[in-house]
Amino acid sequence: MAFVTATDFNTENTLMARITAFAAKKREAFAAHRVYRKTVNELSALSGSELADLGLTRGSIHATAHRAVYGN
C-alpha cells in the first residue's frame, strides 16, 4: 500500500505558494519604498551647507536616496 505525504507534492507551483510569494515581494517593495521616502525626507530637511558637507545638492537627493535603498 502506498502512502502520500504532504512533502510528496511539489509546492513550488501551487496557487497558494505563488500568492504567498507575491505578497512577500509586495511587502518587501513597500518596506523599501518607506525607507526611500524617509531618506528623501531626512535629506530634504538638511540645509544647503549640510548637504554640501555631504557632497550633495538638492537636485541629487532623490538619486542618492534611490541608490542608497535600491542599490542601482
Please check whether residue 51 is in contact with residue 43, taking contact to mean a CB–CB distance below 8 angstroms: yes
Average pLDDT over residues 62-68: 97
Query: What share of the chain in percent tops pLDDT 90?
Result: 81
Domain of 49 in residue numbering reads as 26-72
- Does a structural domain hold residue 1? no
- Does a structural domain hold residue 53? yes
- Does a structural domain hold residue 54? yes
Number of domains in the chain: 1
DSSP the chain: -----GGGS--TTSHHHHHHHHHHHHHHHHHHHHHHHHHHHHHHTS-HHHHHHTT--GGGHHHHHHHHHH--
Instruction: Say yes or no to pLDDT of 35 above 70.
Output: yes
